[in-house]
C-alpha cells in the first residue's frame, strides 16, 4: 500500500511539473510577450490629416508651430524648411516611416508636402465615433435657434 502511494505521488508530481513547464513555454511563444522582449519605439511628430488640412499659405511660423507642433528637424543652414518625420517600430511588426515638410519665405508659409497622414491620434480608437459626434452637433441648437436674452 505504501508503494502505491509513493507511485501515485511521483506520477502526480511529474504531471504537475510537465503541465507547468508546458504553460511556461507556451507563454514565451505569444506575439506580445515573446522572448526576448522588444519594446515599441516611436520617434518624431505625429501629424493628422486634419492638421494638414488647416494649413494655409501665408501663415506665420508661430501659427504653423501652434498647429503642427515644434519641428523635429530644423536645419541651421536652411532655416526656411521645417521637417516633421515620424518613425514607429513595434516590437514585433513592420516599421513605419512618414515624412512631412513645410517651407517658408521670410516668416510666411509658402508650401508643404509629405506622406499621407492618418486621420486620428494614436490614442484614439479606430472607430472614432464621428457619426455620434455629428448627431450631437445636429441636435444642439445654434444661437439663432435659441431665444437669446441679453446678459444683465
C-alpha cell at 84: 516633421
Distance CA 121, CA 125 (A): 8
What CATH code is assigned to 41-119?
3.30.1450
| Domain range summary for the chain, segments of one domain joined by + | 41-119
* pLDDT tens string 28-45: 555 555 577 888 888 988
Give the mean model confidence (pLDDT) for residues 72-100.
88
C-alpha cell at 121: 491620434
* pLDDT tens string 1-18: 667 777 877 888 888 887
Q: What is the pTM of this model?
A: 0.58
Distance CA 147, CA 152 (A): 15
% residues pLDDT > 70 (the chain): 71
pLDDT exceeds cutoff 50 at 46 = yes
* pLDDT value at residue 45: 87
Distance CA 151, CA 147 (A): 12
pLDDT exceeds cutoff 50 at 116 = yes
Q: State the DSSP string of 12-46.
A: HHHHHHHHHHHHHHHHHTSSSS-SS----EEEE--
Amino acid at each position: 500500500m505504501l508503494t502505491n502511494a509513493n507511485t501515485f505521488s511521483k506520477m502526480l508530481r511529474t504531471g504537475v511539473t510537465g503541465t507547468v513547464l508546458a504553460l511556461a513555454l507556451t507563454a514565451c511563444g505569444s506575439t506580445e510577450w515573446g522572448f526576448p522582449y522588444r519594446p515599441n519605439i516611436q520617434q518624431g511628430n505625429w501629424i493628422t490629416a486634419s492638421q494638414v488640412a488647416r494649413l494655409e499659405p501665408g501663415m506665420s511660423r508661430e501659427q504653423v508651430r501652434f498647429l503642427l507642433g515644434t519641428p523635429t528637424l530644423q536645419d541651421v543652414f536652411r532655416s526656411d524648411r521645417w521637417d516633421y518625420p515620424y518613425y514607429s517600430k513595434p516590437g514585433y511588426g513592420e516599421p513605419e516611416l512618414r515624412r512631412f515638410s513645410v517651407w517658408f519665405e521670410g516668416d510666411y508659409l509658402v508650401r508643404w508636402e509629405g506622406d499621407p497622414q492618418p486621420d486620428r491620434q494614436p490614442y484614439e480608437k479606430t472607430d472614432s465615433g464621428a457619426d455620434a459626434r455629428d448627431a450631437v452637433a445636429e441636435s444642439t441648437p445654434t444661437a439663432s435657434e435659441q431665444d437669446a436674452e441679453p446678459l444683465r
